[in-house]
Amino acid sequence: RAKAEGRNTYRLFSDDMAGETQERQKLKADLRWAIDHDELHLVYQPIMDMQTRSLSSFEALLRWTHPERGPIGPDRFIPLAEESGLIGKIGLWVLRRAARDALAWPAEIALAVNISPLQLKQPGFVLEVTRALRDSGLPPTRLVLEMTETALFDNDALTRQALTELKALGATIALDDFGTGYSSLSLIRDRRFRQLKIDKSFVDGIGSCRDSEAIVRGTINIARQMGFRIVAEGIEYASQLAWLEANGCDEAQGYLISRPMPEKDIAGFILAQTHLSTRLNAAGRT
Ligand code: C2E
Ligand code: MG
Ligand code: MG
Ligand code: MG
């Protein structure tokens, strides 16, 4: 009896797994199609300089509109792209498109692009970045490459070499989702990284969780002494922004400032923002 039940359970379980695998396989095939058929697009989320209250950069964020399922988020499809070997092609598409878009922005505004660990390990990656920049005309000094700690965790030779070359190129390398990985403190000793993005999960606790506040304050203090620029991500409340400003954070990003926007809205946003910061600065002086 127990044996029969066990077998039964096993059968159901394996059906489920097959279902999940089929679902993922279908999505992977669809993703392959999506790249060449205009189903992917970028949105951009601004990052603000706290001191000057002006725009410092926009982060490119990838979107997929599936013809039957509608929007699918990058947290879901980037892992599929990584598993199926599509991430190189997708990542390059992102870089080229974003660099072309960014060329239309004022020269003091940088472009941040998220990079998958697998891209870093691909032998021709730095050359592809160099070419994408050259073809678009965007100077490497305007490019910020965001990578998560997990991306850098295994620290293999190809990754190390790519990081060194990207830095030599003049790009800024940022540690994304800082504090959520395994090696945060050892990573910030690495002089190739110049920017650090404090993860939203810590920002969420500002104003309600003393431990989160202690971690954020401590991170800012240490990172500052190491010469990092510190960005806080996922800011939703004015009280969080004020706290971060008071505690020495350099840059701010989050729904409070703006949600990610399509490319066509950027020129208007920049214009409105410039008027606003001019007014704020004037008000501050008088
Ligand atoms: P990330 O790089 O840490 O990006 C921040 C994520 O938080 C974005 O989600 C953004 O829309 C969201 N966010 C920003 N401010 C707020 C806020 O105030 N509240 C809330 N609730 N969320 C906020 P998104 O666009 O869904 O991207 C998720 C992740 O997918 C990104 O995390 C990044 O790791 C990855 N990703 C996105 N685009 C790309 C890409 O082109 N290439 C690669 N390799 N990864 C990408
Ligand atoms: Mg990012
Ligand atoms: Mg992040
Ligand atoms: Mg994140």
Nearest Cα to 44, choosing from 250, 269, 202?
Answer: 269
Residue with tokens 């990573």: 187
- CA-closest residue to ligand 1 atom 13: 234
Q: Is the Cβ–Cβ distance between 109 and 56 less than 8 Å?
A: yes
Distance 283 CA to ligand 1 centre (A): 34
Q: What is the pLDDT of residue 149?
A: 80
Residue 3 has pLDDT above 70, yes or no: no
- Decide: helix, strand or coil at residue 173: strand
Closest alpha carbon to 29 in 77, 92, 94 = 77
State which of 59, 61, 233 you would mutate to test the pocket of ligand 1, scoring each by most atoms of that ligand within 8 A of its C-beta.
Answer: 61
Name the nearest CA neighbour of 202 among 189, 224, 221, 219.
219
* Closest listed residue to residue 240, CA positions, set 196, 200, 207: 207
pLDDT, tens only, 113-162: 999 989 999 989 999 999 999 999 999 999 999 998 876 767 788 888 99
How many Å lie between the centroid of ligand 3 and the Cα of residue 15?
A: 36
* Cα(121) to centroid(ligand 3), Å: 21
Q: Which atom of ligand 1 is nearest to the CA of 115?
A: 44
Give distance in angstroms: CA of 1 to centre of ligand 2. Answer: 53
Q: What is the pTM of this model?
A: 0.92
Rounded Cα distance between 84 and 274, Å, is 43
pLDDT attached to residue 153: 67
What is the pLDDT of the chain when averaged over all its residues? 90
Kindly give the distance from the C-alpha atom of residue 157 to the centroid of ligand 2, in angstroms, as a whole number.
24
Q: For the segment 180-223, what is each residue's pLDDT rounded down to a tens digit?
A: 887 778 888 888 999 999 999 999 999 999 999 999 999 999 99
Atom of ligand 1 nearest to the CA of 61: 38
Predicted pLDDT at 285: 55
ipTM metric: 0.98
Q: Is the pLDDT of residue 286 over 90?
A: no
Distance 202 CA to ligand 4 centre (A): 11
How far, in Å, CA of 12 to CA of 71, rounded?
A: 30
Alpha-carbon gap, residue 230 to 248, rounded angstroms: 9
pLDDT of residue 257: 95
CA distances from 239 to 28, 204, 206 (A): 42, 11, 8
Atom 27 (ligand 1): residue with closest C-alpha? 74
CA proximity to 105, closest of 283, 279, 269, 282: 269
Number of the ligand 1 atom closest to the C-alpha atom of 197: 3
Alpha-carbon gap, residue 71 to 81, rounded angstroms? 16
Distance, in Å, from the CA atom of 48 to the CA atom of 204, rounded to the nearest integer, reads: 18
Q: How far is the CA of 219 from the centre of ligand 1 (A)?
A: 21
For 121-130, write each residue's pLDDT tens digit.
998 999 999 9
Please give the number of the atom of ligand 1 that sits closest to the Cα of 75: 30
Residue closest by Cα to atom 21 of ligand 1: 234
What residues does ligand 1 touch, defined as CB less than 6 Å away?
A: 45, 61-62, 73-75, 78, 91, 94, 114-116, 146, 176-177, 233-236, 254-255, 260
Q: Phi and psi (nearest 5°) for 10?
A: -60, -45
